[in-house]
A and B are shown apart, each in its own frame.
Chain A
Amino acid sequence: MSRPRTVRVAAGQGFWGDWLEAPLRQVRGGPIDYLVLDYLAEVTMSILQKQRSRDPATGYARDFVSQMERILPDVADKGIRVISNAGGVNPRACATAVRAAADRLGLGETIRIGLVTGDDLMGRLDELVAGGEPFANMDTGRPLSDVRDHVRAANAYLGMAPVVEALQRGANVVITGRVTDTGLTLGPLVHEFGWQPDDWDRIAAGTIAGHILECGAQSSGGNLLKDWRSVKRLDDVGFPIVEAQADGSFTVTKHRGTGGVVNVASVTEQLVYEMGDPNAYITPDGVADFTTIQLRQTAKDRVHVSGIRGRPRTPMLKVSVAWFYGYKAVGTLVYSWPDAVDKAKAADAILRKRLKSLGLTFEQVLTELVGVNATHGRLGGDPDPDIAEVMLRIGVRAREREPVERFSREIAPLVLTGPPSVTGFAGGRPQVEEIVAYWPALLTRELIEPLVRVELL
């Protein structure tokens, strides 16, 4: 069987809420073989989980279905394959919705959907705990029994294997739940080039290609700090594309004529994003060594990536358990010159006294002055005494709803009962939000992988 020389994998979304125009532009802007859309982060999983608890038919990124409706005719026409973890906590409902969209478009024959399930451990949690799995918290070492009653969801991070299986069985749209961001890109490369799952250097190379694509335009000029003024036409930014070779080397680029930039700086900034120990970037598929990556600008908007070395995968898979923690709310008010900072500080003191005299207790009350210390703390230095305005931002967190609810009613009164020159209260009362916290744990593969399923719809 002949193997292709170059496989083009294009990023279509870097998170749930990314630019809606990107997928169609990737499909129409030039040749690509695969479109990968990453929707999931821990925060996203918690939002999807909340949605599913209210309506069992939801729990996936619904934007994905409307995106698919827009791109499916081109996808079918050009033979592009789409891979996405948009399924969130309900991949079956997501796949069914895309199936229906394809049928409506008259593409019922052409579109074959591969559905990946088995990452959802919620129904097996008690059985696994009873079997002796402590789900020890990777940060604190505590056993999951501490919070078992509050658990809302438990998902294992799956690697590229089920994506490869779906592609091998002929799927041209692969929809998953919690498959790693990097697995979405590694999967098609393993499928196309026939890489062995223990060819650790190539597995690491495909993983790093995935890391470069997983945040969308963040590797092609978006959020680029170096010479940021020189990045042109971000209004028309081209999302990144990896052109991969069978030996594991690849070139990062974007469609011709699009805005943004692909250079060594843009790729390096993405490489270090969310990095832990660069010698050991651990995924379900292998361990990649970021200290072996060699980058070289070969032409305008083309960066060649080579030299990547990897090591064997670990016997464990990461599991993310979402558990209900409590409530929080954040209120803001804007104070103007003169003495803007002093007015904001005075308002904060008044509010804190009122909360105290109401007998409300919080785990934390956090005050920030936006414009002064919100992002750099004390490193921002003393504020300009003539500053035109400052935003007072107060957040509270508690395990019970009641004090947070009451806090949300104490912001507005400050407008008429506190320091002068206050505005910016158009948004109404602060919203009381439920906090879903994360409990990272490790589980041996043997407990999860045999139950991973690929179905064709």
Chain B
Amino acid sequence: MPGTRIQLRYLAHARSGDKGDTANVGLIALAPELYPVLEAQVTAKRVARHFKGMVSGVERFELPNLTALNFLLHGALDGGGTLSLKTDAQGKVFSTALLRMEIDLPRKLANRWRNRDE
């Protein structure tokens, strides 16, 4: 049963940083009930597809204690650190680019979380 298509920005907050040519994105559920949804749907494979052409590989780590997932986006920073010519050479806002991704929100959660800002 498909749920409601919804952008991650309505379900999670995020912060990112860098380590060499890798950007990390920590994706944090806005409420504990949303964490299992993120864990099930925001897989390394889906994230790699979301960033296709922008990164060379994606790793995912789980932090259920913080209701957070941590993604390592390899090859994301055009060389990284001092070499990169990018505006966002240190990946500071890669986090927000992940929040554009859409997932299916199960119906029982949809009423509460759908487009809360609207």
> Is B28 in contact with chain A by the CB < 8 A criterion?
yes
* Set of chain A residues within 8 Å of B61, measured between Cβ atoms: 277-279
* Set of chain B residues within 8 Å of A364, measured between Cβ atoms: 78, 85
B58 to chain A, nearest CB (A): 14
- Is B54's CB under 8 angstroms from A377's CB? yes
- Dominant SS at the B interface? mixed
- Is A436's CB under 8 angstroms from B86's CB? no
- Is A268's CB under 8 angstroms from B68's CB? yes
- Is A272's CB under 8 angstroms from B82's CB? no
> Is A290 in contact with chain B by the CB < 8 A criterion?
yes
- Is B97's CB under 8 angstroms from A376's CB? yes
> Is A328 in contact with chain B by the CB < 8 A criterion?
yes
> Is A26 in contact with chain B by the CB < 8 A criterion?
no
B93 to chain A, nearest CB (A): 5
**Would you list which residues of chain A between 254 and 303 have a CB under 8 Å from chain B?**
265, 268-279, 290-295
* Set of chain B residues within 8 Å of A250, measured between Cβ atoms: none
Given contacts A274-B19, A275-B26, contact A291 B63 (CB under 8 A): yes
Select B53's contact among A368, A370, A378, beta carbons within 8 Å: A378
- Is A293's CB under 8 angstroms from B65's CB? yes
- Is A366's CB under 8 angstroms from B78's CB? yes
- Dominant SS at the A interface? mixed
* Set of chain B residues within 8 Å of A269, measured between Cβ atoms: 13-15, 26, 28
- Is A274's CB under 8 angstroms from B17's CB? yes
Give the distance in Å from the alpha carbon of A376 to the alpha carbon of B61 in the complex: 23
The interface size of chain B toward A, counting residues with CB under 8 Å, comes to 39
The interface size of chain A toward B, counting residues with CB under 8 Å, comes to 49
B118 to chain A, nearest CB (A): 15
> Is B3 in contact with chain A by the CB < 8 A criterion?
no
* Set of chain B residues within 8 Å of A225, measured between Cβ atoms: 13-15, 95-96
- Is A272's CB under 8 angstroms from B28's CB? yes
Given contacts A366-B86, A377-B97, A435-B83, contact A271 B13 (CB under 8 A): no
Select B15's contact among A273, A370, A437, A438, beta carbons within 8 Å: A273
> Is A395 in contact with chain B by the CB < 8 A criterion?
yes
B114 to chain A, nearest CB (A): 17
B97 to chain A, nearest CB (A): 4
A437 to chain B, nearest CB (A): 6
Select A440's contact among B16, B17, B20, beta carbons within 8 Å: B20
- Is A438's CB under 8 angstroms from B82's CB? yes
Given contacts A269-B15, A270-B15, contact A325 B83 (CB under 8 A): yes
* Set of chain B residues within 8 Å of A452, measured between Cβ atoms: none
> Is B70 in contact with chain A by the CB < 8 A criterion?
yes
10 other A-B residue contacts (CB within 8 Å) besides A43-B81, A226-B28, A265-B28? A225-B13, A268-B68, A269-B15, A269-B26, A272-B26, A273-B15, A291-B63, A294-B65, A377-B53, A397-B83
B interface, CB within 8 angstroms of A: 13-21, 24, 26, 28, 30, 50-51, 53-54, 61-66, 68, 70, 72, 78, 81-83, 85-88, 93, 95-97, 100
A-B contact list, 6 entries, CB within 8 Å: A46-B82, A269-B28, A275-B70, A396-B85, A435-B82, A440-B20
**Considering the complex of A and B, which 10 residue pairs feature the smallest CB-CB distances, nearest first?**
A272-B26, A395-B85, A274-B17, A226-B13, A366-B85, A269-B15, A374-B87, A376-B97, A225-B13, A273-B17
